[in-house]
Amino acid sequence: MRFRFNPGLTGALVVLGLIALAIPVPYVMTSPGPVFNTIGQLQGTDLISISGAQTYPTTGELDMTTVREYGGPQEGLSVFQAVWGWLSPDRRVVPRAAFYPPGQTAAENAAQNAEAFSSSQSYAIAAAMHYLKLPVIEQVVITSIGVGTPAQDKLRAADHITAVDGVATPKPDDVVKAVRSKPIGTTLMFSVIRGGAPIVVAVVSGSRTDNPATTEDESKIPYVGIGVDTYYQASFDIAFGVQGVGGPSAGTMFAIGIIDKLTPGALTGGKTIAGTGTIDPDGQVGEIGGIAQKLIGARTEGAELFLAPQSNCKDVVGHIPSGLTVVPVSTLTEAMQAISDYKAGKKLATCTATK
């Protein structure tokens, strides 16, 4: 059989091949993201700004680490990007379903991450205040408002709810109970503080029949479409200056940064210390994602010590860059002790494959 070269066919195959490479595949790629020094500045703005309390100068770095993500909740990667990620030692490619629930949009994901980041800052304040044995102020605030829900265009995120129908709501569950205690279609009067001023907002409760995932029983439960949580504050002002970052994993490093600014001396001893981990108001450090990429990012920026959640040890082993010491911690107190031991030259705990 004699093969005859057909330029037209070859060109068409090349074009088809290029199109195939550009077609999105349902994967997400992560790589090391930027690090932010929580006791430093970003574009001239303090990442942690404290007023109304005595603060102290400090040196070194307490870096929160991040992960860059490519692919988004719906976009996916091109075949070329996926192959590049699989071949790159500092990148990770995983099925999109491992990151996002089905049907989630980029806007919904961004809102969710922003809410988690805000909560992590609030929890960091509470954890730091508890560690320093300082007062903590608790408020019930609106963290999210669903699109097309009864509360949309009436209540706002960050509204501080003080009462519903005249009944005080000191806990998030009190708001939920107040809404559900009256029939669907009831006009509920929300007493809130918005921008420092008290106002009353009327919201008519509805049913969840517009949500395809709602069960028949849920459709009979009154709702207004808000998320509520406890927001923690110190007795003085603490503000955060980092923008464009989402998720809850900066909580631990924010808490340590607050403590450093409120206590004499340089906590780091002038060194670069990085870390990650969620934190709750009681100072418990929790598991996060993308830690292998965060280790690489931290070492690239000069970190020598990395504080990792104890529950992430299984992901740390085998992924520690040369020159970086990784110490597992499960509480803020353990993290502070690890920093102290590191400065003193003491032997530090490390992750093992069995943890």
**What are the tens digits of pLDDT across the range 236-270?**
999 998 776 767 889 999 999 999 999 999 999 99
Residues 222 and 292 in one domain: no
Pairing, β 61-70 against β 272-275:
parallel
Return the closest-CA partner of residue 347 out of 325, 322, 323: 325
Written as one string, the DSSP assignment of 40-108 is SEETTEESEEEESS------SEEEEEEEEEESTTTT-B-HHHHHHHHH-TT-EEEEGGGTS-TT--HHH
Residues 97 and 245 in one domain: yes
What secondary structure letter does DSSP report for 262? H
Query: Which of 217, 233, 249 is at the close of a domain?
Result: 233
Residues 259 and 339 in one domain: yes
Query: What's the pTM value of the predicted model, to 2 decimals?
Result: 0.80
The CATH number of residue 331's host domain is 3.30.230
The number of beta carbons lying within 10 Å of the beta carbon of residue 80 is 11
Q: What's the pLDDT at 241?
A: 86
Longest dimension (CA), the chain: 90
The CATH number of residue 216's host domain is 2.30.42.10
For residue 334, the Cα-to-chain-centroid distance in whole angstroms is 21
10 within a domain of the structure (yes/no): no
Between CA 65 and CA 294 the distance in angstroms is 6
**In this predicted model, what pLDDT tens digit does every residue of 318-352 receive, in sequence order?**
899 999 999 999 999 999 999 999 999 999 998 87
Residues 294 and 223 in one domain: no
Residues 187 and 262 in one domain: no
Q: At what angle do helices 106-132 and 251-262 cross, to 10 degrees?
A: 40
Q: At what angle do helices 79-87 and 7-22 cross, to 10 degrees?
A: 70
Between CA 14 and CA 229 the distance in angstroms is 55
Domain that holds residue 94: 30-101+239-343
Q: What's the pLDDT at 246?
A: 67
349 within a domain of the structure (yes/no): no
Q: What total number of domains does the chain contain?
A: 2
Residues 217 and 245 in one domain: no
Q: What's the pLDDT at 293?
A: 93
15 within a domain of the structure (yes/no): no
For every one of its 355 residues, what pLDDT tens digit does the chain have, with 9 covering 90 and above? 454 555 554 544 444 344 444 556 677 888 899 999 999 998 889 999 999 999 999 999 999 999 888 777 666 777 777 777 677 777 778 777 766 666 666 666 556 556 665 788 999 999 999 999 999 999 999 988 888 899 999 999 889 999 999 999 999 999 999 999 999 999 999 999 998 899 999 999 998 765 544 555 666 889 999 999 999 999 999 999 877 676 788 999 999 999 999 999 999 999 999 999 999 999 999 999 889 999 999 999 999 999 999 999 999 998 999 999 999 999 999 999 999 999 999 999 988 754 3
Q: What's the pLDDT at 273?
A: 97
Between CA 42 and CA 49 the distance in angstroms is 12
163 within a domain of the structure (yes/no): yes
* Residue 210 · residue 148 · CB < 8 Å: yes
Residues 261 and 337 in one domain: yes
Between CA 227 and CA 194 the distance in angstroms is 16
